[in-house]
């Protein structure tokens, strides 16, 4: 059928809404399987109607399908049956095609209804197609009423309209306009304007680093079509609840305006206008043009108030001190033995608490025993390799890989020991509690059988502890033997260096047989020397690198092609079943305690080759690659428009990082080499171009500054002179020299440092920007909590001899840090390396403290400066979620870096160990190897390729 079927379902396009909104009243109570089958049948009917060109029926059917999908997603069984539903109804890509069909059907139907009304002599509302035609022809028909005058403005400038002017614009069909309401979704649903082209952009989406593409992705399907109208409308009107005049920086209205002006290439010629006074002003003037005009949002009492005169701490006794930081137990409750009532209440709150601890104790022992066996097996494999060939000054690739595995296993064993110590302490606490209650004559266990069962349990634990001690002794004996041989190898290597004897060479990656890149044309190809995981600080900063060799002409990722797939394992109590499965074209037998779960070929599971101790660089690059917003920014070709060619690095660092991230997400490679990035980085910081081990935190800090400088092209919008701005805002602008970048919007925050005189209580405040927080760890503790470390950083400390400007003399004072600006991406670094004060020469040691940090729901609002709460109010409802960890295993003398990252496609954690990528369980992310944590508070949580 060449022509669309004649219109028959309604007189106007709006009549179709009544049809697709009619769902059975009991649809929410039906089983999800029945709803899914109905949705599948409806989808097939819609496709058939679309082919037959029955546009009305197809449009109504597709819209009803979208409503059904929303019902399915809200069903209590959706999460459990998500994969089956996706197989039945299709992926997000399939629904994107449906949205495209809906857009085409809507445009066609609007034009056809209007044409039919015109033929019948009636009047119809201007459709988008007619508006587009008029815009392209530049014609404005003269109607009986003059349109309000809108002064043309350049893109990026700000202009406001009053409620009266907006009302006139709404009622003038000649005005091509889209209104964006950035109030919270619940306020918008409760009351909003009566206007066809009105879209709600909820304020929780409007945070620093947001782009137009991400807003579109986060909006519900029914809002995306309206959001896309910004590309064809002549002007966009922004409104919140009650903003008058210039919006305050970092408020939702400001960020929405900034995003449209700077990070939306589709509306370069569109005028951006604000409604002065917001929705509150409009509803007061024209209540009939609003739904539910009597609605008022709940008022939030600001405990800080506006009358504190910028005083951070009115009472000096309110300042918590650093000494209190590690006295608190973190996230674990304590047992108050001074209170009988508290002790009995705690005991009664948990049924059989000691039994629970004993079970946890046994689980830790089982894990520790299994880990010790793996250490013994790996050490034995290393020993066998050394016996097969003469020991050389260096180790081959296999030996090095096994050494790294031993490092990681030993770190994990240390974590188990810390956990066991904590459990034993808790066990003793409960035993003491029971003993005290027995002495008071209180009955704890009414059944003698329970006591006998507990004693049997404890005997089993003692047996397991004895077995574990024997295994640990064997591990230590093997380690001592290996250390003796390594010491001999190091001594031989030292003699070779002193006598200038050339060292043997080997490849940095076993499959990298071809020579390419900047060294490809040399007659004698440059080869990587033996790996030397030396300690920092370093004496040799790559003096052998020639600058002319660092000029990158053509990128060479030296990729290893292959199926990009990952497999996860989970424990099983079943015995060996001999089941055969096919993996990557080969038949393998399942292990007796594991099953393999194949993942879809996905992006972001590509490893990075080690180019000679570049694991520190690989670890950071993988974490940045899995920073979802940064990843999408670099994948957008328009990011090159933001490159700054007038700085020291001339945009080269930004280009190379983007190239590496895009290569990691093609889904075509097992691993790649970041050769060009390493060469370019080495041009500007020579130690990063060499082959010595470096510190991943130092590399990250410098890299962030480079990336910010390479993308620093956006002029900050300053509404008044610097002297009239708040001190924090003035310091922010001065630090960045009046120019923003996408990096500063994502990663940078601001610290407020307050010094308060203990005599006159005079306060003095300074501000400093940061891209990461470096937190102290306890000196003599095997385990602590992230909350303790944050308290240590932000709590007060005494300052002797501070010159008080009010007392005009040196006085004792208290210094306190607070956050004045929260970043969207929070990077936390643990200070694990320190100079040993007990040694004559400068010797660096490593703290192996196990830090317990949350994988989600990290609340940072308690560390906000009291005077800066309003600036960060948009973040008070958010919590940070963890998505990346840079790990360091081993010691200063011999160490290795890896990364744990949450993949946004698979919604699963993966371990990136140079070119090896493997899935891990979320419970394994917390480890004493954690060195740098990457948290995000952005509303865009990892997306999966499922029905949304």
Q: Output the CA torsion 515→520→522→525 (10° steps).
A: -20
Contact criterion met (CB below 8 Å) for 278 and 242: yes
d(CA 391, CA 13): 82
Q: Residue 144 half-sphere exposure, CB side, CA atoms within 13 Å?
A: 1
d(CA 947, CA 91): 5
d(CA 792, CA 815): 13
DSSP collapsed to 3 states, 35-48: HHHHHHHHHHHHHH
d(CA 521, CA 508): 19
738, exposed or middle or buried, with CB in 10 Å at 0-12, 13-18, 19+? middle
Question: Is residue 204 classed as helix, strand or coil in its secondary structure?
Answer: helix
Contacts 24+ apart (CB under 8 A), 479-482: 479/379, 479/406, 481/383, 482/379, 482/382, 482/383
- Provide the CA 555 distance to its chain's centre, in angstroms: 28
Give the H/E segment covering residue 945: none
Question: Is residue 332 classed as helix, strand or coil in its secondary structure?
Answer: coil
Question: Is residue 819 classed as helix, strand or coil in its secondary structure?
Answer: strand
Q: Which of 192, 361, 829, 896 is catalytic?
A: 896
d(CA 712, CA 647): 9
Contact criterion met (CB below 8 Å) for 609 and 666: no
d(CA 173, CA 131): 9
Q: Output the CA torsion 640→641→645→651 (10° steps).
A: -30
888 labelled catalytic: no
Contact criterion met (CB below 8 Å) for 637 and 517: no
Contact criterion met (CB below 8 Å) for 867 and 312: yes
292, exposed or middle or buried, with CB in 10 Å at 0-12, 13-18, 19+? exposed
Q: Is 824 left (phi over 0), alpha (psi -120 to 50) or beta?
A: alpha
Give the H/E segment covering residue 608: strand 607-608
d(CA 512, CA 670): 12
Give the H/E segment covering residue 670: strand 669-672
d(CA 625, CA 912): 11
167 labelled catalytic: no
Question: Is residue 892 classed as helix, strand or coil in its secondary structure?
Answer: coil
Give the H/E segment covering residue 130: helix 128-137
Contact criterion met (CB below 8 Å) for 912 and 608: yes
Reference 369, options 475, 462, 468; nearest CA is 468
User: Given the DSSP bridges, would you call strands 607-608 and 669-672 parallel, antiparallel or unpaired?
Assistant: parallel
What count of other Cβ atoms lies within 10 Å of the Cβ of residue 739?
16
Handedness of CA 201, 206, 212, 218 (dihedral sign): negative
What count of other Cβ atoms lies within 10 Å of the Cβ of residue 384?
9
Would you tell me the crossing angle of helices 32-51 and 82-89 to the nearest 10 degrees? 20
d(CA 597, CA 846): 37
Q: Residue 880 half-sphere exposure, CB side, CA atoms within 13 Å?
A: 20
In the chain, DSSP finds a helix count (H) and a strand count (E) of 24, 29
Q: Which of 46, 261, 615, 789 is catalytic?
A: 615
Question: Is residue 416 classed as helix, strand or coil in its secondary structure?
Answer: helix
Supply the residues annotated as catalytic.
Answer: 615, 896
């Amino acid at each position: 059928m060449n022509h669309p079927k004649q219109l028959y379902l309604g007189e106007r396009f709006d009549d179709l809404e009544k049809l697709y909104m009619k769902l059975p009243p009991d649809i929410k109570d039906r089983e999800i399987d029945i709803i899914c089958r109905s949705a599948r049948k409806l989808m097939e009917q819609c496709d058939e109607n679309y082919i037959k060109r029955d546009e009305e029926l197809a449009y109504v059917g597709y819209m009803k399908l979208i409503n059904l999908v929303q019902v399915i997603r809200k069903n209590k069984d959706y999460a459990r049956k998500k994969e089956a539903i996706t197989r039945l109804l299709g992926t997000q890509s399939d629904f994107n095609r449906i949205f495209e069909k809906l857009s085409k059907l809507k445009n066609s139907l609007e034009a056809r209804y209007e044409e039919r009304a015109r033929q019948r002599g009636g009047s119809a509302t201007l459709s988008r197609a007619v508006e587009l035609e008029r815009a392209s022809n530049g014609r404005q028909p003269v109607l009986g009423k003059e349109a309000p005058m809108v002064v043309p403005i350049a893109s990026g400038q700000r202009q406001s309209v009053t409620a009266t002017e907006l009302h006139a614009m709404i009622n003038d069909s000649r005005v091509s306009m889209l209104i964006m309401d950035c109030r919270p979704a619940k306020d918008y649903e409760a009351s909003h304007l009566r206007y066809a082209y009105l879209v709600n952009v909820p304020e929780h989406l409007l945070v620093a680093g947001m782009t137009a593409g991400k807003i579109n992705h986060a909006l519900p399907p029914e809002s995306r079509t309206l959001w896309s109208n910004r590309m064809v409308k002549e002007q966009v009107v922004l409104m919140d609840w009650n903003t008058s005049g210039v919006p305050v920086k970092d408020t939702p209205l400001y960020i929405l305006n900034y995003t449209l002006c700077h990070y939306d290439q589709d509306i370069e010629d569109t005028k951006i206008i604000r409604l002065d006074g917001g929705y509150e002003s409009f509803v007061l003037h024209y209540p009939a043009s609003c739904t539910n005009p009597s609605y008022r949002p709940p008022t939030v009492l600001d405990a800080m108030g506006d009358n504190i005169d910028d005083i951070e701490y009115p009472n000096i006794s309110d300042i918590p001190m650093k000494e209190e930081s590690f006295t608190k137990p973190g996230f674990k409750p304590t047992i108050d033995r001074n209170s009988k009532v508290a002790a009995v209440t705690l005991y009664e709150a948990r049924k059989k608490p000691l039994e629970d601890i004993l079970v946890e104790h046994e689980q830790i022992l089982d894990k520790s025993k299994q880990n010790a066996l793996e250490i013994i097996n790996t050490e034995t494999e290393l020993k066998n390799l050394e016996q097969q060939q003469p020991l050389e000054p260096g180790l081959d690739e296999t030996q090095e890989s096994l050494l790294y595995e031993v490092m990681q296993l030993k770190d994990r064993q240390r974590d188990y020991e810390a956990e066991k110590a904590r459990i034993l302490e808790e066990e003793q606490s409960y035993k003491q509690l029971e003993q005290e209650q027995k002495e008071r004559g209180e009955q704890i266990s009414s059944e003698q059988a329970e006591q006998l069962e507990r004693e049997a349990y404890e005997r089993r634990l003692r047996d397991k502890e004895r077995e574990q001690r024997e295994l640990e002794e064997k591990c230590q004996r093997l380690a001592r033997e290996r250390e003796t041989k390594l010491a001999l190898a190091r001594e031989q290597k030292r003699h070779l260096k002193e006598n200038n004897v050339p060292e043997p060479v080997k490849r940095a990656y076993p499959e990298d047989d071809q020579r390419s890149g900047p060294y490809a044309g040399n007659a004698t190809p440059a080869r990587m020397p033996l790996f030397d995981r030396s300690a920092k600080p370093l004496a040799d900063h790559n003096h052998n690198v020639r600058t002319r060799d660092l000029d990158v002409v053509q990128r060479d990722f030296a990729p290893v092609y292959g199926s990009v797939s990952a497999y996860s394992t989970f424990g099983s109590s079943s015995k060996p079943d001999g089941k055969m499965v096919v993996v990557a074209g080969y038949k393998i037998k399942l292990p007796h305690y594991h099953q393999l779960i194949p993942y879809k070929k996905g992006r972001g599971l590509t490893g990075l080759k080690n180019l000679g101790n570049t694991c520190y660089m690989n670890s950071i690059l993988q974490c940045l690659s899995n920073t979802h917003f940064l990843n999408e920014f670099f994948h957008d070709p328009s990011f090159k428009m933001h490159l700054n060619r007038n700085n020291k690095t001339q945009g080269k660092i930004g280009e190379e990082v983007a190239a590496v991230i895009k290569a990691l997400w093609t889904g075509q490679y097992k691993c790649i080499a970041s050769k060009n990035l390493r060469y370019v980085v080495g041009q500007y910081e020579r130690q990063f171009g060499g082959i010595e081990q470096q510190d991943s935190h130092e590399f990250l800090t410098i890299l962030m500054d480079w990336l910010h400088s390479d993308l620093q092209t956006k002029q900050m919008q300053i509404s008044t002179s610097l002297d009239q701005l708040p001190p924090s805002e003035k310091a922010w602008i001065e630090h960045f020299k009046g120019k923003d970048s996408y990096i500063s919007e994502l990663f940078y925050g601001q610290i407020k440092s307050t010094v308060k005189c203990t005599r006159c209580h005079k306060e003095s405040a300074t501000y400093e920007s940061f891209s990461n927080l470096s937190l102290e760890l306890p000196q003599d503790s095997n385990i602590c909590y992230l909350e303790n470390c944050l308290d240590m950083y932000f709590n007060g400390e005494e300052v002797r001899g501070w010159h008080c400007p009010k007392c005009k003399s040196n006085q004792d004072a208290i210094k306190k840090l607070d956050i004045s600006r929260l970043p969207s991406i929070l990077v936390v670094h643990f200070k694990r390396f320190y100079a040993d004060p007990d040694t004559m020469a400068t010797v660096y040691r490593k703290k192996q403290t196990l830090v317990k940090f949350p994988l989600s729901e990290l609340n940072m609002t308690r560390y906000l400066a009291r005077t800066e709460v309003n600036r960060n109010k948009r973040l008070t409802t958010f919590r940070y979620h963890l998505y990346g960890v840079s790990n360091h295993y081993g010691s200063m003398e011999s160490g290795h870096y890896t990364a744990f990252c949450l993949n946004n496609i698979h919604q699963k954690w993966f371990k990136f160990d140079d070119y090896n990528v493997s899935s891990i369980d979320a419970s394994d992310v917390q480890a004493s190897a954690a060195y740098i944590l990457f948290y995000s508070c952005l509303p865009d949580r990892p997306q999966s390729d499922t029905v949304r």
